[in-house]
Amino acid sequence: MIVNTRDFKTGETALHIVVARRDATWTGFLLQKGANPDVRDKSGTTPLMLATQLRFIEGVRVLLSQKAKIDEANNQGETALIRAVQLRDSELTRVLLEQGANPDLTDTIAGLSARDYATRDRRAAAVLAEIEKADSKKKPESTGQFFGPEG
């Protein structure tokens, strides 16, 4: 499909370009016309990763609404969530976690996950709080009743 044509030097598509321009309208338009939200450039960067790096939260939301794969990693194994944590961006971290990003996937450079980066960085307390809040939402609430084997 022509909308997914790549630049031969960089591997970028039109979607990468409009995300880099922080243009949510064109991002949505290209996605409606069949742009692949998970296409990678030569460094393995997806439009979602690029939007995260640019702190383009509206673009992140548009891409996720069009089924961009949230846990795709670049050539270094970094996911959008790892980048959001490294940027100490609690709002992006929250959005990604709410959409199902896995905080325990590790990158290939340091072998660290988003949770690891947040824990190690003393300046990332707000980001770590978002991860912990997402953890607590996943755990089922105890009813206080035990339904074990009968004895």
* Burial degree of 29 (CB within 10 A; 0-12, 13-18, 19+): middle
pLDDT tens-place string over residues 90-110:
999 999 999 999 999 999 999
pLDDT, residue 151, reads: 45
pLDDT tens-place string over residues 137-146:
876 554 555 5
What is the architecture, at CATH level 2, of domain 1-69? Alpha Horseshoe (1.25)
* 142 secondary structure, DSSP code: P
pLDDT tens-place string over residues 2-29:
888 988 999 999 999 999 999 999 999 9
Phi-psi label, residue 145: left if phi above 0, alpha if psi -120 to 50, beta otherwise = beta
- Candidates 1.20.58.220, 3.90.79.10, 1.25.40.20, 2.40.50.140; CATH matching 70-135: 1.25.40.20
Is the pLDDT confidence value at 124 over 80?
A: yes
Percent of residues, the chain, with pLDDT higher than 70: 91
Which residues, at least 6 apart from 81, have a Cβ–Cβ distance to it below 8 Å?
A: 70, 71, 93, 96, 97, 101, 102, 103, 105, 114
pLDDT, residue 89, reads: 97
What is the rounded average pLDDT of the residues 127-151? 72
Is the pLDDT confidence value at 147 over 90?
A: no
**Alpha-carbon span 42 to 89, nearest angstrom:** 26
Is the pLDDT confidence value at 133 over 50?
A: yes
Which ranges in the chain are annotated with CATH 1.25.40.20? Answer: 1-69, 70-135
What is the rounded average pLDDT of the residues 118-128? 93
Q: How many CB atoms lie within 10 A of CB 77?
A: 16
pLDDT tens-place string over residues 25-83:
999 999 999 999 999 999 999 999 999 999 999 999 999 999 999 999 999 999 999 99
